[in-house]
Amino acid sequence: KNEVEQSPQNLTAQEGEFITINCSYSVGISALHWLQQHPGGGIVSLFMLSSGKKKHGRLIATINIQEKHSSLHITASHPRDSAVYICAVTRGETSGSRLTFGEGTQLTVNP
């Protein structure tokens, strides 16, 4: 079983829909990251959080430390949101801030 599990693996939505991507992890962590990988391949960090909730524009990330679960929400989705969204964790005991990644969620938003 992977230490970081994401669901769903693939998600197709219509423009304007509210989207939720889930991430569960099975190890102690110091931080959880959400990243975005566009079709061109580049990877950018969206959020880094260790508790509570963060918001940036139409993106919201939440984490529940007790349940070892995080969600990434996209409000009013747009075709330009189409990308792979990756959840990753920094394990609590890990040196060098190494990340352990989920397999990613492929999101397609249709106009």
Partner 1 sequence: NAGVTQTPKFRVLKTGQSMTLLCAQDMNHEYMYWYRQDPGMGLRLIHYSVGEGTTAKGEVPDGYNVSRLKKQNFLLGLESAAPSQTSVYFCASSYPFQGDTQYFGPGTRLTVL
What does the binding site for partner 1 look like in residue numbers (CB under 8 A)? 29-31, 33, 35, 41-45, 48, 50, 86, 88, 90, 95-99, 101-104
Q: Supply the minimum distance, in Å, between the C-beta of residue 74 and partner 1.
A: 20
Q: Supply the minimum distance, in Å, between the C-beta of residue 42 and partner 1.
A: 5
Nearer to partner 1, 19 or 34 (CB): 34
Amino acid identity, residue 101? F
DSSP letter string over 61-99? EEEETTTTEEEEEESS--GGG-EEEEEEEEETT-GGG-E
Q: Supply the minimum distance, in Å, between the C-beta of residue 85 and partner 1.
A: 12
CA angle at 69 for the pair 63 and 73, rounded to the nearest 5° = 60
Nearer to partner 1, 82 or 106 (CB): 106
Q: Supply the minimum distance, in Å, between the C-beta of residue 18 and partner 1.
A: 26
Q: Is 72 exposed, middle or buried, given 0-12, 13-18 or 19+ CB atoms closer than 10 A?
A: buried
Nearer to partner 1, 83 or 86 (CB): 86
* Rounded Cα gap, residues 106 and 111, in angstroms: 16
